[in-house]
Structure 1
């Protein structure tokens, strides 16, 4: 008699939605991607939950964070949600051939190590098909800088796309890509296996920030001075070197 298979671990998907209208086409696109991903995961026996970060209500708080360099409790809570998620759906409206300033401002507050090897679906909406390349020209480099793992299929929806079956097919493709990566655990394996090799923000919001002390190089001039020791003499050689 075969033993029952262990239950698959539940995964959490975080939506970052920069849409500000109500109803919002950006939020609608993100929700469709999330639902398709959840359905695809459940078909393979992996339970999933979706949590949302709506940036519109946080606009003033985000601006305050940009100016002061300090995160208030609302933005801090959003960062903690983002840090705890197994995957992200990043969705922004396009204005004047660029991603939303609100979305970019929020991204500017994200610690550089918060999304290391995190699977991300990139999505945008706009009033014209002329903006379709904004996702790959602006969102993809942004998340590459954050060392996330953007899915091969990015999504853009103009008004004429909502009635097209092609949009549904692209959503299904992106959801399948995200589901495969989540089930494999590849992102977490990459982060776990290489965590010490990345630069980290000490005391930041990354879920592994508690291990950051192990990754700090105390054998530098700055850290020696900070701990009351002398810096290396000019030339970079220790005084006791032969």
Structure 2
């Protein structure tokens, strides 16, 4: 049975988090779609709130902490990525953008990406199209046609014409995402082990003999 490696990147700040909840729903729906086709998924959830300090340090030092390095490598090695962010000021969160700024520009080339977002009202849903989709297009990813936005009312217990559509949108996006997932990425070069030269050795190399 083919197993697809999925990186699930969620930028929710709270706990519990509507952003994480949406990421979990999309991951579960993708798993069902793959199972229906005789495939399975191996998701790795990356909670950016737990990496916030490491991300900030990497931006100013250029050196990732081990946990952040593992997260970056997991995204680069994944067969597909589910990326979910809260919407602040009509765009993705700064934490979300900072993480993807750390990826190699070619890390997501050809990788299927399912984009999703959460926000207080449905008025923020355009952030998916004017912010998130261009970001992943710039990274040369293959972005799933259906993007999923969940407003606060979508999590209500009383279904109406709007809230009742969230499960259907999740299932549609998951089906499109599963259809794009390859058996693997044979054309991607093998990752080379990173060599870290101690700072003392770097200084010694600069000193004249």
Q: Given the two structures, how large is their TM-score scaled by the length of structure 1?
A: 0.73
In structure 2, list runs of 5 or more residues that go unmatched. 157-162, 193-209
By how many angstroms is 1:57 displaced? Answer: 1.0
**Bigger relative contact order (CA 8 A; separation at least 6):** 2
**Which of 1 and 2 has greater Rg?**
1
2:152 to 150, 159, 174: 159
By how many angstroms is 1:12 displaced? Answer: 1.4
Distance in structure 1 (CA, Å) of the matches to 2:121 and 2:36? 35
**1:17 corresponds to which residue?**
10
Distance in structure 1 (CA, Å) of the matches to 2:123 and 2:76? 33
Distance in structure 2 (CA, Å) of the matches to 1:110 and 1:165? 36
1:147 to 140, 151, 169: 140
> Pairwise CA RMSD of aligned residues?
1.5
**2:63 corresponds to which residue?**
70
Distance in structure 1 (CA, Å) of the matches to 2:73 and 2:100? 14
1:39 to 29, 32, 36: 32
**2:170 corresponds to which residue?**
171
What is the total number of aligned residue pairs between the two structures? 186
Counterpart contact for 1:117–1:188, Cα < 8 Å = no
**1:82 corresponds to which residue?**
75
* Higher mean C-alpha displacement, 33-42 vs 81-90: 81-90
Distance in structure 1 (CA, Å) of the matches to 2:9 and 2:190? 21
Q: Given the two structures, how large is their TM-score scaled by the length of structure 2?
A: 0.84
**1:216 corresponds to which residue?**
none
- The list of structure 1 runs, each at least 4 consecutive aligned residues, that deviate by more than 2 angstroms after superposition, is 207-210
